[in-house]
Structure 1
């Protein structure tokens, strides 16, 4: 399996090379040259497999023999040992033909654990084989950071630096990162928003001269295709549990950086019968505006009750645009150059393809709180604000009520107590027992200005030879 850049100028790479490279040298994102294809008969044969067994079936074609089957299964099994529920991704019914897929059963209570527990183990495996040390650098709008830190904290060959927007993540999200005191973990609170953090990470990959000799940056953001690959699995898992592939399933996905729903798009292209893919956004609604009205223009970022979706530049959308433009790297280079000016209008042909693949909906904070309250009142099931947006988007855009819809629950409600208490007037939702003392743990992080030279200087000073 070879991987190619969305901008068409970078060399094609193997799977292991892509894992270690992250962003392509031409500024693009890597995608598989071809996608694995599964027939309905093959998918049907997977009914009853455990999550770990199914993950092997989905992931193995992407590594294409670079990792022995036994080693790959060991990596998968190890990655999900710390999940609190034996089903790994349990389904909960919230209405007629409406289901919530609980993706928060991992160690940091967010869907990012699915990919980042695996990515941490995968990196350690590859680096040990190569006798190499690297620097992981990532940006987070809330959940990626803690999941990446948890996945990498025990890795012998990794120093990890995570940038989060200062005072723009929830207190639980911050403490999940900043109370990890391992010697190889460094948290940077950047005086800016998530897009500032993400832009700095991308720029750092383009110029790594600040690193000590022999070190390179590795991405844990969803620009690293290994993350997307692992997220494909739970679409198959949910569909098989609800009668797939004999019938189609729809999915509603709280969406910020477009990585999670892009995994669903790939699952559909690989052969999983999916009726609708629904993009659910908060008031930072650039994706909803693009899909519904061809308005992919930047607007000021708004701080919301669903901070993991406070994103205006959705990096993984480029991967979709690459497909919609016939995998034409030159067309993507032109689009990305246009977007630097603040807008990125799409052709009528591309818009038709986009709207054929995706529906979309947006909610503001007031509407989000209302949904949390309504669902809790009727079912006593507590949604976090991101998941609430996904549930309402499903209810507003479903075209066929006889088709089951799965709403991806991307985080545990205890991570966002402000929204939950506003909605339900209940006491602060309790953290799971393994995290009950979170607010008593010592914190360690560095507040830095939105200045790349200063961040690079700080990083270089922390990296041990």
Structure 2
């Protein structure tokens, strides 16, 4: 298996080099040169695997034997040892047409743990094997930062800096990042929004001299290992709904979406042969992805703060990966479209391409009021408390599913992380002990302006300017 850039100007790479590169050196995103297709017979055999065994089966198709099987098995075991359930991502049946895949049983109570606990182990493995200095740089809309820090804190040979938008994440998200006082962790609170933070990250990774000088590695979903690790739970979810539902109904998956990484993992799973009917993109009022699916126009709009802050994103960094496949892997066309986005501020696809988009995805953007409505309704009707991002997924399920379909909605975070929204529904929840403990801890962060030069100065001090 070789990996290539969506823009075609990077020589094919192996798995480890692809992960270490993060953002491709030509500004594109790395993707597999070909996607392995799983036979129906193999899918049937996979149904009885544990989560960890399924993870190993899927990764073995992509890693070119660069990681010995026993080493991979040990990394996977360590990655999920801290999860609060042996299933890792348990499936909860709500009614005959709805299942919820719970992705919040990791150490930071969010779906990002599923990929980032492994990624921390992977970087540690590479650092030791190659005597490689690893300096991780990432941006977060809330959950990625906490999960990434938890995955690498205290590990030798690794330093991590996370940028988050100042006062635009939930209080618990902020505390999960900023109460960590390890020497290898730096939190920069940027006066701006997530898109501002993400642009700084992309600009610094595009500066190849700066990237090489400081041994920069990516933790955001621009890194393909994040995409691949998330693909595993699409298979797991499908395998753990009722066999009758699999056999007699079309199976949809509704995914709270902001940066397009999680939903692209589902697109990859479908291309691999998982028989998903509809991939439903669930967004909030920052609904650039919904507008694209409905109209064919990809155009960032005005930023809005919502009850689901992890999806308060206008520029979805993984969109380019989907564009690559939509354009039949034509790297020249991808480059043209991305240049058009940069110069004109939008992409518009043809009616023929839009028809293909609508065959790949359904989409719905939930309003703030709808989000709160479904939190209250599901708490009362099913005694199931949704976090606001999952509530957007439920709204999309309600809007986009038909009678002959069953939908798996992803619960991407524990509701305790977003008590500000839960309280608006007049619901008093009991916090898990690990989250309650955060409320009394001191915080460690530096507030900086949205100024790349100032951020670079802080990075030079943290990583070392040699």
Distance in structure 2 (CA, Å) of the matches to 1:98 and 1:393: 12
Distance in structure 2 (CA, Å) of the matches to 1:463 and 1:54: 37
Question: Is structure 2 residue 82 aligned with structure 1 residue 82?
Answer: yes
- Cα offset, 1:159, TM superposition: 0.8
Distance in structure 2 (CA, Å) of the matches to 1:218 and 1:451: 21
Partner of 1:27: 27
Tell me the TM-score normalized by structure 1.
0.97
Partner of 2:387: 384
Partner of 1:11: 11
Conserved? CA contact 1:189–1:446, under 8 Å: yes
- Cα offset, 1:403, TM superposition: 2.7
Q: State the secondary structure of the residue aligned to 1:366.
A: helix
Distance in structure 1 (CA, Å) of the matches to 2:326 and 2:281: 17
Partner of 2:169: 169
Partner of 2:265: 263
2:420 to 418, 421, 433: 418
Matches within 5 A, 1:81-230: 81-207=81-207, 209-210=209-210, 213=213, 215-230=214-229
Distance in structure 2 (CA, Å) of the matches to 1:438 and 1:178: 10
Partner of 1:334: 336
Distance in structure 1 (CA, Å) of the matches to 2:215 and 2:351: 41
Matches within 5 A, 1:206-355: 206-207=206-207, 209-210=209-210, 213=213, 215-242=214-241, 243=243, 246=247, 248-340=250-342, 341-355=344-358
Conserved? CA contact 1:298–1:342, under 8 Å: yes
- Cα offset, 1:250, TM superposition: 1.1
Distance in structure 1 (CA, Å) of the matches to 2:379 and 2:388: 12
Distance in structure 2 (CA, Å) of the matches to 1:78 and 1:154: 15
Name the count of aligned residue pairs.
Answer: 461
Unaligned 5+ runs, structure 2: none
- Cα offset, 1:47, TM superposition: 2.0
Distance in structure 1 (CA, Å) of the matches to 2:246 and 2:226: 24
- Cα offset, 1:211, TM superposition: 6.8
Tell me the TM-score normalized by structure 2.
0.97
- Cα offset, 1:431, TM superposition: 2.6
Q: State the secondary structure of the residue aligned to 2:237.
A: helix
Question: Is structure 2 residue 366 aligned with structure 1 residue 367?
Answer: no
Distance in structure 1 (CA, Å) of the matches to 2:164 and 2:208: 20
- Cα offset, 1:95, TM superposition: 2.6
- Cα offset, 1:436, TM superposition: 2.4
Q: State the secondary structure of the residue aligned to 1:275.
A: coil
Distance in structure 2 (CA, Å) of the matches to 1:375 and 1:405: 16
Matches within 5 A, 1:38-53: 38-53=38-53
Conserved? CA contact 2:365–2:396, under 8 Å: yes
- Cα offset, 1:134, TM superposition: 1.8
- Cα offset, 1:456, TM superposition: 0.7
Distance in structure 2 (CA, Å) of the matches to 1:267 and 1:296: 24
Q: State the secondary structure of the residue aligned to 1:147.
A: helix
